Structure 1
Amino acid sequence: MKKLLIFLILLFSFTTIVNAKEVQAKKYNHIVSLTLGGDEMLLGLVSENRIAGLSGKINEDREISNIVDKAKKFPKVESNEEILMSLEPDLIIVADWVTKKIDNIGAIIGAKVYYYKTPSSYEEQKKVIRDLANLVEEKENGEKIIKNMDDRLKILQNKIAKSYEGAKPRILMYTSFGTTSGKNTTFNDMVRLINGVNVAAEAGVDRFKDISKEKIIELNPDIIIVPIARKYDNIDKLSKFLFEDPSFKNVKAIKNKKVYFIQYKNITPISQYMIDGIEELAKVVYQLKE
């Protein structure tokens, strides 16, 4: 018994030393992410002991974040410069839409600031993952994530091809802000990948634009997708707007009751969770069974 105890202690000590050396061998071991997409990608790529902090309270909302449980244990920066600096990161990961003011903080504390390009397609999303994986020296993990995405997409597309023979479904995204997603958006590419037509993109709408009631009637989509988060969106109000306005009565999606409310995290992920969104979109569009 005593020999077994000594063996276990030595084994634990050796494992700890190996793990410590593995961490030290990496260039960046105290990483902070300032955006939700960065948080989700980072947690999929590196071990938790290399993460010093994540973006903030957005990770606590299950309708927006895919990593609520995983993110709980990390400090939340929440756009607070003092907190960010106190974490003493060696790498700060931000999206390209974040203020360049972060560069100044990076210079002060000697951290590298890495801006990833916000993707507007599935392929661009995979590139972001691959580039970030190379940066944090986790190339193998990055390729595993991408393979998982591609494998699942292929299975899904085969399932759609076998179960659906009709015309391509004509789909419109409509948000509680009265906006839609056109060309050069991940939503447009998600629709394309499930063999649908984004009617906004077809009509020449580029990126994110306001859309009028008259335009919705003109586009006459088969399906309307409404991204929602109950904390911010009044679903009853949205439903009344779409289903009780008599001017919408001949819009196919309204007439056939094909308006689907989907959580934001399943429609707008900027991370490897895009594949979850594609699967969820296909599920409601084609009424696929599990």
Structure 2
Amino acid sequence: MSIRFFMLILIIIPNLFLACANTESKTIKEETIVEVIKEVPVEKEVIREVEIEKIIVQEKEIIKEVPVVEREVVEVVKTVEVYIDQKSDSLIDLSKVEGIVNPKNFSWPREIQAMNGNIVINQEPQRILTVSLGHDEMLFGFVELDKIVATTSFSQDPGGNIFEFSNGLPVITADPEVIIAQDPDIVFADPYANPNLLDALSDLNIPVIQTTLHNDVEGRRADILLMGYALGELESAKNLINILDERIKFINSYTETKDVNEKPKILSLTYYDAYWTGGLGSTEGSIIDLAGGINIAAESGVQSNDMITKESLISMNPDVIIIPQSKEWGGESFFNDLISDNTLKEIQAIKNDKVYLVDPRYFTTLSHWNLRGTEELMKIVWDDLRTKKFIDFGR
């Protein structure tokens, strides 16, 4: 082998070893780099995915919650608004209430067409009184008690309908000075009030409202609404009417089941130096009609409260007689005389022990309390109601 070939081999072989060494080192480095590349991005990618997922979940939860809360708040607000509208005075129909000049006016001043002229009420009264028992009884049915500054003496009778509520208040008389001393913002009077008294109060710019008091169902509602309107107490007046309507509903549903042949002939009878009865249009007559009876006095042509003769009494021949006259005013004595009078013994009511002394506070008053008269009469007339408990009106 030549010296030149030998030297070439010596040069190539080391370079081959060096190349192999470099290749191995490069491979190791590359593998190390690959491992790093595999580890780091994967780890970071997982972390990013988790973070992103968490954020998305939170954003979804917020999107779900916020609209629900907003919808609930809107619904609550709407409910309150409807409730307020339902309690608004403007929903109460006053178009059929006689005496209210502008039924659509629910602000102040308000104007009432009364028996004594048109009366303007500039603002809601805070000091109220009446010179009428019927008006007093209605007042105590729905007006705030601290607004009522005085009552009539009849209202504070221990045997009266509102004694429990009126007892202790100042008592007014027909003397204008007594009324003026109570500094009233408004005064109510019935048709029988002294004209001089009304003039004296009007001269002092005290609004006086003189009204008729009705004894029928619709008229009773109108009386209460008129007072409620004049006093700014329409909502509480309507509440009282609702109570009355519920009781009337029971009465009507019961009496409608009765055939005309079942209905007894009833006579309301008192005695004050003569026989007096309640005919067509009387309070006693309206009580009899509502209770499901036949008002024999009205059937016989008697108008309102009027005198009748003994012969008329015998001719009417009632099945039931009620005596709405207090013991203090001779009611018990009259009862005894009536059932012991031999000339009257053939009258059906007397023959069958159907004569009853009833409480006049229910049967003669001109307020919603006469509805209690109807209820008590029903217990007398209808055997299946004999033990039913009817309660008085409260506050």
Same fold (TM over 0.5): yes
For each residue in 1:74-116, what CA deviation from the matched residue of structure 2 results, as whole angstroms up to 9, or x when unmatched? 1100223221111111101111221222322222332100112
SS at match of 1:93: strand
For each residue in 1:201-241, what CA deviation from the matched residue of structure 2 results, as whole angstroms up to 9, or x when unmatched? 01111011111111110000000010122222240x21232
For each residue in 1:32-67, what CA deviation from the matched residue of structure 2 results, as whole angstroms up to 9, or x when unmatched? 1111111111112211121121111x123344x210
For 1:54 and 1:277, the matched residues in 2 are separated by: 23
Q: Which amino acid aligns with 1:282?
A: M
SS at match of 1:283: helix
Answering whether residue 217 of structure 2 is matched by residue 118 of structure 1, we say no
Match for residue 139 of structure 1 among 206, 217, 234: 234
SS at match of 1:172: strand
Residue in structure 2 matched with residue 168 of structure 1 by the alignment? 263
Residue in structure 1 matched with residue 196 of structure 2 by the alignment? 101
For 2:192 and 2:282, the matched residues in 1 are separated by: 15
Residue in structure 1 matched with residue 51 of structure 2 by the alignment? none
SS at match of 1:231: helix
For each residue in 1:223-282, what CA deviation from the matched residue of structure 2 results, as whole angstroms up to 9, or x when unmatched? 0010122222240x2123211111111100000000111111110121121221211121
SS at match of 2:174: coil
Q: Which amino acid aligns with 1:86?
A: A
SS at match of 2:324: strand
Residue in structure 2 matched with residue 21 of structure 1 by the alignment? none
User: Would the aligned equivalents of 1:269 and 1:277 in 2 still touch at CA under 8 Å?
Assistant: no
Answering whether residue 121 of structure 2 is matched by residue 40 of structure 1, we say no
Answering whether residue 391 of structure 2 is matched by residue 284 of structure 1, we say no
Answering whether residue 171 of structure 2 is matched by residue 76 of structure 1, we say yes
**If the length of structure 1 is used for normalisation, what is the TM-score?**
0.85
Q: Which amino acid aligns with 1:264?
A: P
Q: Percent identity?
A: 27
Answering whether residue 150 of structure 2 is matched by residue 53 of structure 1, we say yes
Residue ranges of structure 1 left out of the alignment (5+ in a row)? 1-24
For 2:235 and 2:277, the matched residues in 1 are separated by: 37
Give the deviation of 1:73 after TM superposition.
2.6
For 1:120 and 1:162, the matched residues in 2 are separated by: 24
For 1:88 and 1:142, the matched residues in 2 are separated by: 24
For 1:97 and 1:192, the matched residues in 2 are separated by: 26
CA separation of 1:78 and 1:218: change in aligned 2, threshold 3 A: same
Match for residue 222 of structure 1 among 319, 322, 327: 319
Divergent runs of 4+, >3 A: 159-166
RMSD of aligned residue pairs (Cα, Å): 1.9
**Higher RCO (CA-CA < 8 Å; seq separation 6+):** 1
Q: Which amino acid aligns with 2:193?
A: V
CA separation of 1:145 and 1:268: change in aligned 2, threshold 3 A: same
SS at match of 1:97: coil
Match for residue 239 of structure 1 among 325, 328, 335: 335
User: Would the aligned equivalents of 2:131 and 2:152 in 1 still touch at CA under 8 Å?
Assistant: yes
SS at match of 1:135: helix
Give the deviation of 1:170 after TM superposition.
0.3
Residue in structure 2 matched with residue 255 of structure 1 by the alignment? 351
Residue in structure 2 matched with residue 88 of structure 1 by the alignment? 183
Match for residue 200 of structure 1 among 293, 297, 302: 297
User: Would the aligned equivalents of 2:214 and 2:220 in 1 still touch at CA under 8 Å?
Assistant: yes
User: Would the aligned equivalents of 1:125 and 1:272 in 2 still touch at CA under 8 Å?
Assistant: yes
SS at match of 1:228: coil
Aligned length: 263
Residue ranges of structure 2 left out of the alignment (5+ in a row)? 1-121, 389-395
For 1:82 and 1:213, the matched residues in 2 are separated by: 46
Structure with bigger gyration radius: 2
For 1:59 and 1:26, the matched residues in 2 are separated by: 27
Residue in structure 2 matched with residue 15 of structure 1 by the alignment? none
User: Would the aligned equivalents of 2:323 and 2:335 in 1 still touch at CA under 8 Å?
Assistant: no
